[in-house]
Amino acid sequence: DTTVKQNPRYKLARVGKPVNLICSQTMNHDTMYWYQKKPNQAPKLLLFYYDKILNREADTFEKFQSSRPNNSFCSLYIGSAGLEYSAMYLCASSRRTGANQAPLFGEGTRLSVL
Amino acid sequence: AQKVTQTQTSISVVEKTTVTMDCVYETRDSSYFLFWYKQTASGEIVFLIRQDSYKKENATVGHYSLNFQKPKSSIGLIITATQIEDSAVYFCAGGNYAQGLTFGLGTRVSVFP
């Protein structure tokens, strides 16, 4: 299976409530990324894991958390959702070495915060 | 890449013709990768083609090819023999695996019969 899977596809959350998004891949990719995509904006990198090492972007450091319990799974956690978190959340994975490698994206989770 | 700029917001072309999209990037890295992705109507982002910064030859995959001009920090995408299903938003992205990718705002391509 050469796809990245995300669950759920759609998520409705209330302001102030936590949100947990799941991503998985079985391609033995060493790196997994989370991006946020809003309409008419570029996908924005939130954080990524290289193996077990988490790298978070400076401007989203406190807003998002993540865990990677094993090579195949990665989660994105929002402790207290705000209206500004409404967006498409895209997970991607890749392998750092090898010709023609590229981050492959899942279908995304569309989060609506009300 | 620290910054990726796509200046063309939208392009309309007639089916079976060629479309060219521009992308300019800024980077402090000596080695980096450049990618083009396509976002479908469902929102899915699909990988199309990649260019390694150290390679002088332009990458080609199917009817996608790149125009890599390193001195200008430019990586254009060329789609030949366009089809209706090529209608999508095309994103340019750059970076390396230690930093993740930076994306441009995208160019919407509409292919008409």
pLDDT computed for residue A59 by the predictor: 83
Q: Per-residue pLDDT for chain A (114 aa), expressed as one digit of tens each?
A: 778 999 999 999 999 999 999 999 999 999 999 999 999 899 999 999 999 999 988 888 788 999 999 999 999 999 999 999 999 999 999 987 666 678 999 999 999 999
pLDDT computed for residue A4 by the predictor: 95
Tell me how far CA of residue B51 lies from CA of A100, B32, B48, B56, B65, in angstroms.
9, 9, 11, 9, 10
CB B9 within 8 A of CB B109: no
Q: In sequence order, which ranges of B1-113 are alpha helices (DSSP H)?
A: none
Residues in chain A closer than 8 A to B88 (CB atoms): none
Angle subtended at Cα A87 by Cα A84 and Cα A93, rounded to the nearest 5 degrees: 125
CB contact under 8 A, A33 and B100: yes
CB A40 within 8 A of CB A87: no
Sign (positive or negative) of CA dihedral B3, B9, B15, B19: negative
Q: Which of B75, B62, B65 is nearest to B32 (CA)?
A: B75
pLDDT computed for residue A89 by the predictor: 97
Nearest-angstrom CA–CA distance, A112 and A86: 5
CB contact under 8 A, B43 and A107: yes
pLDDT computed for residue B70 by the predictor: 95
CB contact under 8 A, A42 and B43: no
Query: For chain A, what percent of residues have pLDDT higher than 70?
Result: 96
Nearest-angstrom CA–CA distance, A71 and A103: 15
Considering only the beta carbons, identify the residue of A42, A100, A103 that sits closest to B104: A42
For chain B, list residues with pLDDT below 50.
Answer: none
pLDDT computed for residue A57 by the predictor: 86
Residue A58, helix vs strand vs coil: helix
